[in-house]
């Protein structure tokens, strides 16, 4: 499954200028073809400036568990969103601590909450840092 970040018109030129990339380099970062520290920064910048996730059929950076009456979406770095169909309630957790609860929400509000969690989880992913210390 292919995943990418769709960005508003004109943002790619800004990304190229700010991060010193060619258009192809920006494309590789936004389409997860590159996983360098700079690519992580490009994706974070794109999401902060109007970019949205696009993936064929599945949410990126997310594990989904569904039972008959409950759905739980788990994101990297400790973000969890749970929807209970019986009570029509949504819980948000960070590092197993409840941070918010919402009642009587429609599917578009649930979608908004999940997208917020996606953006937060992508922004918190720390790329591996190479040790450049010579011994």
Say if residues 63 and 119 touch (Cβ distance below 8 Å).
Answer: no
How many CB atoms lie under 10 A from the CB of residue 127?
A: 12
Give pairs for 51-54: CB < 8 Å, separation 24+: 51/5, 51/6, 51/7, 51/8, 51/11, 52/5, 52/6, 52/115, 53/3, 53/4, 53/5, 53/6, 53/115, 53/118, 53/122, 54/3, 54/4, 54/5, 54/6
**Residues 64-93, mean pLDDT to the nearest whole number:** 80
Residue identified by tokens 């690519």 is: 39
Distance CA 54, CA 31 (A): 9
Say if residues 65 and 72 touch (Cβ distance below 8 Å).
Answer: yes
Considering 31-35, 90-94, 119-123, 131-135, the range whose residues carry the highest mean pLDDT is 31-35
Distance CA 50, CA 120 (A): 14
**pLDDT tens for residues 17-49?**
999 999 999 999 998 888 899 999 999 898 888
pLDDT at residue 15 tops 90: yes
pLDDT at residue 130 tops 70: no
Give the lowest-confidence range in 64-73, 78-87, 112-121, 125-134: 125-134
**pLDDT tens for residues 84-110?**
878 888 888 888 888 877 777 766 777
Say if residues 93 and 80 touch (Cβ distance below 8 Å).
Answer: yes
């Amino acid at each position: 499954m292919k995943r990418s970040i769709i960005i508003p018109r004109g943002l790619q030129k800004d990304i190229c200028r700010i991060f010193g990339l060619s258009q192809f380099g920006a494309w590789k970062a936004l389409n997860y073809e590159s996983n360098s520290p700079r690519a992580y920064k490009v994706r974070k910048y794109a999401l902060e400036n109007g970019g949205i996730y696009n993936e064929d059929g599945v949410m990126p950076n997310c594990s989904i568990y569904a039972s008959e009456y409950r759905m739980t979406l788990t994101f990297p770095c400790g973000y969890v969103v749970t929807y209970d169909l019986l009570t029509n309630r949504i819980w948000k957790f960070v590092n197993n601590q409840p941070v918010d609860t919402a009642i009587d929400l429609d599917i578009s509000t649930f979608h908004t909450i999940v997208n917020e969690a996606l953006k937060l989880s992508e922004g918190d992913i720390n790329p591996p840092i190479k040790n450049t210390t010579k011994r």
